[in-house]
Structure 1
Amino acid sequence: MPELAEVIDLNDPQKLGRIKARYYWPVDEPKQAETGWLRVTTPYAGDGKGQLFTPEVGSQVLIAYEHSLAEFPVVLGNMFHPQNKQSAKYSNPQNNLKGMQTAGGNKFVMADAKGEQRILISNSNNKGTAVEVGFKGDGSITIKSNGPVTVLGSTITLEAGDKGEIVMHAKNVSIDAEENISLTAKKNIDLDGKDLGLQVGNNMQAQISSDLNMKAGGKAKLISSDTDVI
Structure 2
Amino acid sequence: MTEIFDHLAGQEPGRADGRFHGVAIGIVTNNRDPDGLGRVKVALPWLADDAETDWARVAVPMAGAGRGFSFLPEVDDEVLVAFEHGNPEVPYVVGALWNGKDRPPVTNGDGRNDTRSITSRSGHVIRLVDTDRDERIEIVDRSAGNSIVISTKDNRITITATADVVISAGGKLRLSGNGVEIVSKADVNVEAKSALAVKSGGRLTIKGSQVNIN
Same fold (TM over 0.5): yes
- 1:194 deviation in Å? 5.2
Matched to 1:70, the amino acid is P
Matched, 1:118 2:139: no
CA distance in 2, matches of 1:151, 1:6: 43
Of 133, 136, 143, the residue aligned with 2:158 is: 143
C-alpha contact (below 8 Å) 1:66/1:73 kept by paired residues: yes
CA distance in 2, matches of 1:150, 1:98: 29
CA gap 1:90/1:175 in 2 versus in 1, 3 angstroms: farther
C-alpha contact (below 8 Å) 1:90/1:98 kept by paired residues: no
Deviations 1:67-115 (A, max 9, x none): 34333221111101122223x3453422111111111222211112233
Structure 1 vs Structure 2 CA RMSD: 2.4
CA distance in 1, matches of 2:101, 2:172: 48
Q: 1:226 corresponds to which residue?
A: none
Matched to 1:18, the amino acid is R
Matched, 1:8 2:29: yes
Number of aligned residue pairs: give it: 191
Matched, 1:166 2:187: no
Deviations 1:17-50 (A, max 9, x none): 10001012253xx32x111000000000012211
Task: Please identify, of 172-181 and 12-21, the stretch whose mean Cα deviation from structure 2 is larger.
Answer: 172-181
CA distance in 2, matches of 1:174, 1:66: 64
CA gap 1:199/1:102 in 2 versus in 1, 3 angstroms: same
Task: Please identify, of 108-117 and 34-43, the stretch whose mean Cα deviation from structure 2 is larger.
Answer: 108-117
Tell me, what secondary structure is at the counterpart of 1:134? strand
Q: 2:115 corresponds to which residue?
A: 97
CA distance in 1, matches of 2:120, 2:183: 36
Matched to 1:42, the amino acid is V
Tell me, what secondary structure is at the counterpart of 2:126? strand
Matched, 1:179 2:193: yes
**1:1-230 alignment, distance < 5 Å:** 1-27=22-48, 30-31=49-50, 33-86=51-104, 88-89=105-106, 91-93=108-110, 94-124=112-142, 126-127=143-144, 129-137=145-153, 140-148=155-163, 149-160=165-176, 164-172=178-186, 174-177=188-191, 179-180=193-194, 182-185=196-199, 187-193=201-207, 195-200=209-214
CA distance in 1, matches of 2:31, 2:118: 20
CA gap 1:132/1:48 in 2 versus in 1, 3 angstroms: closer
Deviations 1:195-226 (A, max 9, x none): 341152xxxxxxxxxxxxxxxxxxxxxxxxxx
For normalisation by structure 2, the TM-score amounts to 0.77
Gaps of 5+ in 1: 201-230
